[in-house]
């Protein structure tokens, strides 16, 4: 008889995909507020998502689509996914399986989704599901707003089918006599990885036309990503636009289903090559958002879908960069433009060009826009660790919809709203449906963490840097503790947040005998324009200095922090920061774990890197000053490099080139290659043992 193995946090962390499984997600609400649609797996360690619908009036949750039933031959595996679907999940950092996305008609009565490249459709009122047999494989299917047809991508082509499975190609290289490198209806790499635009086609409101992206990847250099553990498998070819190199050529076309007429949307693509967003705002009108290559200019244009002509209705400029903000732009029913822009030192909500939020709110995204006003999320300036939902209306101005503490997300449909709330005071996040005075809690199967974070938030040093300090659960005051810095530290991501789950891994490290300090220094969001823009042309100096200053300030407040034993760990930008710390400040940092680090910014993509460091073909100096390869001979502390060998975002060449430079300089270090692993580490065995390996390294080194 086998003795059961005791559960541990690393095992739970891996098994539950960072405590995310079993929680309601991908939530949608019907326009009349009567139905809430969502994905959820059946348990906290079950990675297979099913589609569910909540009847708001009765409070009943109904299962709509179960992959185990739909795929009667068995569940999909990674080998069953199309290349496009694998890429989509990687861009979204999606580690779950089953139904990972779905789309609905305008009234949220009909849905469609894919499983193993097959198309499934069904009714959300009747709670039915069936396979629609069409020419495939199927990627990114979307019903038209009137629920008569479904458009989907198959390979390089965009196809449309009726609900009986009669499909036809609407756009594609073969249809238009174009080279095979042209794709229709898909997002290019940069749009999906950096702009938050994961799609490449959009239905008109009447379901008679489609706005479709045409992507020409021929100018983009080809990189080859191989899995060394399978030498018999050819490497994957990836069109990767590294900083300073050519991007894909993206154009937009409106295609009529009635006669196949194709109308190209015209804008100044030479000055504004990036297509960031497309939205139908009327029967014959589109809003498009475009950016200059240096991202110092952003233009919103109103497009006549019949003629393809566009008129610029909003332009924003900056001497650093203009951010893309989720949900912005949009338009109210009275045609006033709604945008989020940096004004007076903060991201503010602008209605018809007038700022309606005060400078004590940093707006993070627009969630809905309509006759009932504009719903958005924002950080209060005095609580950057919180994210609150707000509503603006002409009559009442700006009002909070959620408490001012915690981290909130919100989805709105008619009189119904669905709020997800996380907080360090809540062991598990809650998802609640609100309609009038009635409140319904959506069921969550997420597991209760096996650790209990004890987080102390503080603003430290003269710059009032946001920090979170975690000590061992049974810490005895007066006992000296080695310090582990646990940052991300880079643009567009916060780690110091008022969320229980966000700090569980830090607490686990603390319970192994560390004082863990999480620091959001300059360059991270939530504290206004100057704070974010301070990293312009230099992603190293201020970022690293704030980690140092926050550490020293925390130690001044707590004598138990032992500054003679300081480690740092991080992933992606955090991995860059960890390696940077031991290379440039060995007087402060005594060991580092650098996971998937960007070691040479010339090897990272155009849109992200050039936003902060400029174009290296124009001015290489910012790249030279922030490259870790040039600092290899400075290493005097233990460094562990960790990298997935099939990572197509931060490619393994980053760690391998740094390792080579370190070896050439005679600097001992450790390298942990993760076979078959991409930029995320969803595999349970990898995720669990990676935590344990880091702990072992830090204990040996500190």
Please state which CATH number belongs to domain 455-701. 3.40.50.1820
Is the domain covering 162-314 a CATH 2.60.120.380 domain? no
Beta bridge partner(s), residue 456: 469
pLDDT of 318 > 50? The answer is yes
Cβ neighbours around 410 below 10 Å, total: 22
pLDDT for the residue 693: 96
**Bridge partners, 488 (sequence order):** none
User: Quick check: 78 pLDDT over 60?
Assistant: no
Output the pTM of the full model.
0.95
> Residue 413: which of 152, 124, 141, 129 has the closest Cα?
124
Report, in this order, helix, strand and coil percent for the chain, each rounded to 5.
Answer: 20, 35, 45
Helix (H, G, I), strand (E, B) or coil at 693: helix
**CA 494/CA 525 separation, integer angstroms:** 7
- Per-residue pLDDT of 487-511, as tens digits, reads 999 999 999 999 999 999 999 999 9
86-125 b/e (C-beta count within 10 Å ≥ 16 → b): bbbbbbeebbbbbbbbbbbbbbbebbbbbbbbbbbbbebb
Measure the CA–CA gap between 332 and 53, rounded to whole angstroms: 29
Number of helices and strands in the chain (H, E) = 13, 44
The predicted-structure confidence for 133-152, as pLDDT tens digits, reads as follows 999 899 999 999 999 999 99
pLDDT at 268 over 50: yes
Tell me the average pLDDT of the chain: 95
State residue 380's pLDDT score. 92
Q: How far separated are the first and last CA of the chain, in Å rounded?
A: 40
Q: Which stretches does DSSP call E strand in 498-610?
A: 515-519, 561-571, 591-595
DSSP secondary structure of 117-165 = TEEEEEETTTT--EEE--SS--EEEEE-TTSSEEEEEETTEEEEEETTS
Percent of the chain at pLDDT above 90? 90
pLDDT in tens, 507-549: 999 999 999 999 999 999 999 999 999 999 999 999 999 999 9
Q: How many CA atoms lie within 13 A of 472 on its CB side?
A: 16
Determine the pLDDT at residue 685: 81
Compute the average pLDDT of residues 544-568: 98
CA gap 575, 624 in Å, rounded: 18
pLDDT at 681: 74
- Write out pLDDT tens, residues 617-639: 999 999 999 999 999 999 999 99
Q: Whole-angstrom Cα distance, residue 400 to residue 165?
A: 46
pLDDT in tens, 55-66: 999 999 999 999
Rounded to the nearest 10°, the torsion over CA 587, 591, 596, 598 is 10
Beta strands 481-485 and 515-519 are parallel
Q: Locate the DSSP E strands across 360-427.
A: 361-370, 373-380, 388-393, 397-400, 407-413, 416-422
pLDDT tens for 352-392 read: 999 999 998 999 999 999 999 999 999 998 999 999 999 99
For residue 6, name the pLDDT band (cuts at 50, 70, 90): confident
| Contact partners, residue 403, CB within 8 Å, separation at least 6 | 388, 421
Distance CA 108, CA 94 (A): 24
For residue 249, name the pLDDT band (cuts at 50, 70, 90). very high
Query: H-helix or E-strand containing 686?
Result: helix 684-701
Domain boundaries, the chain: 162-314, 455-701
Report pLDDT digits (tens) over 581-608.
999 999 999 999 999 999 999 999 999 9
**Mode of pairing for the β-strands spanning 465-470 and 455-460:** antiparallel
What is the DSSP code (8-state) at residue 34? S
CA distances from 285 to 289, 290, 301, 302, 409 (A): 13, 16, 10, 7, 29
State residue 575's pLDDT score.
98
Q: Number of C-alpha atoms within 13 angstroms, CB side, residue 409?
A: 13
With both helix axes pointing from N to C terminus, report the angle between 504-511 and 684-701 in degrees, rounded to the nearest 10.
40
pLDDT tens digit sequence for 661-673: 999 999 999 999 9
d(CA 670, CA 506): 23
* Coil vs helix vs strand at 250: strand
pLDDT digits (tens, 9 = 90+) for 279-299: 999 889 999 999 999 999 999
């Amino acid at each position: 008889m086998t003795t059961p193995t005791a559960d541990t946090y690393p095992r739970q962390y891996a098994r539950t995909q960072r405590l995310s499984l079993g929680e309601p997600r991908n939530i949608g609400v019907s326009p009349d507020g009567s139905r809430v649609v969502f994905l959820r797996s059946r348990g906290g360690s079950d990675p297979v998502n099913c589609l569910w619908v909540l009847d708001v009036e009765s409070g009943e949750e109904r299962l709509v689509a179960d992959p185990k039933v739909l795929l009667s031959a068995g569940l999909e595996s990674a080998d069953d996914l199309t290349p496009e679907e694998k890429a989509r999940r990687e861009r979204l950092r999606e580690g779950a399986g089953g139904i990972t996305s779905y789309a609905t008609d305008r009234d949220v009565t009909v849905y469609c989704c894919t499983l193993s490249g097959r198309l499934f459709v069904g009714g959300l009122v009747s709670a039915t599901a069936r396979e629609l047999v069409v020419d495939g494989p199927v990627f990114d299917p979307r019903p038209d707003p009137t629920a008569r047809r479904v458009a989907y991508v198959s390979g390089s082509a965009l196809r449309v089918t009726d609900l009986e499975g009669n499909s036809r190609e609407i756009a594609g290289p073969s249809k238009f006599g174009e080279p095979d490198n042209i794709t229709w209806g898909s997002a290019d790499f940069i749009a999906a990885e950096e702009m938050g635009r994961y799609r490449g086609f959009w239905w008109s409101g009447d379901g008679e036309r489609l706005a479709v992206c045409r992507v020409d990847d021929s100018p983009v250099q080809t990189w080859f990503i191989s899995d060394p553990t399978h030498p018999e498998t050819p490497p994957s070819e990836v069109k990767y636009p590294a900083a300073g190199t050519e991007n894909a050529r993206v154009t937009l076309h409106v295609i009529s289903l009635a006669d196949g007429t194709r109308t190209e949307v015209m804008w100044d693509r030479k000055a504004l090559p990036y297509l960031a967003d497309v939205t139908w705002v009327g029967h014959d009108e589109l809003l498009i958002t475009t950016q200059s290559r240096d991202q110092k200019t952003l233009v919103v244009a109103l497009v006549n879908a019949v003629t393809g002509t566009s008129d610029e209705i909003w332009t924003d400029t900056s001497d650093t960069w203009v951010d893309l903000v989720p949900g912005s732009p949009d338009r109210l029913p009275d045609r006033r433009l709604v945008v989020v822009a940096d004004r007076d030192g903060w991201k503010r909500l602008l209605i018809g060009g007038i700022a309606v939020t005060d400078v004590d709110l940093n707006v993070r995204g627009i969630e809905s826009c309509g006759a009932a006003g504009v719903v958005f999320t924002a950080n209060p300036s005095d609580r950057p660790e919180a994210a609150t939902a707000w509503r603006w209306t002409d009559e009442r101005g700006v009002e909070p919809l959620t408490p001012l503490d915690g981290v909130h997300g919100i989805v709105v449909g008619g009189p119904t709203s669905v709020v997800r709330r996380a907080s360090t005071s809540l062991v598990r996040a809650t998802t609640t449906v609100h309609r009038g005075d009635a409140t319904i809690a959506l069921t969550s199967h997420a597991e209760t963490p096996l650790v209990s974070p004890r987080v102390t938030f503080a603003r430290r040093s003269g710059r009032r840097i946001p920090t979170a300090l975690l000590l061992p659960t049974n810490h005895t005051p007066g006992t000296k503790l080695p310090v582990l810095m646990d940052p991300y530290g880079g643009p567009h991501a916060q780690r110091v947040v008022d969320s229980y789950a966000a700090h569980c891994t830090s607490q686990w490290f603390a319970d192994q005998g560390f004082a863990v300090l999480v620091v959001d220094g300059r360059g991270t969001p939530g504290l206004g324009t100057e704070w974010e823009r301070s990293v312009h042309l230099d992603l190293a100096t201020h970022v690293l200095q704030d980690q140092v200053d926050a550490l020293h300030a925390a130690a001044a407040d707590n004598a138990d922090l032992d500054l003679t034993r300081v480690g740092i760990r991080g992933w992606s930008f955090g991995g860059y920061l960890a390696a940077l710390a031991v290379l440039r400040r060995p007087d402060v940092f005594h060991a580092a774990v650098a996971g998937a680090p960007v070691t040479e910014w010339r090897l990272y993509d155009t849109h992200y890197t050039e936003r902060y460091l400029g174009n290296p073909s124009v001015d290489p100096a910012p790249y030279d000053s922030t490259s870790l390869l040039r600092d290899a001979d400075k290493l005097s502390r233990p460094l562990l490099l960790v990298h997935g060998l099939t990572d197509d975002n931060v490619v393994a060449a980053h760690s391998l080139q740094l390792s080579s430079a370190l070896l050439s300089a005679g600097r001992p270090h450790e390298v942990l290659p993760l076979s078959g692993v991409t930029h995320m580490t969803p595999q349970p065995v990898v995720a669990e043992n990676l935590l344990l390996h880091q702990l072992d390294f830090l204990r040996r080194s500190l």
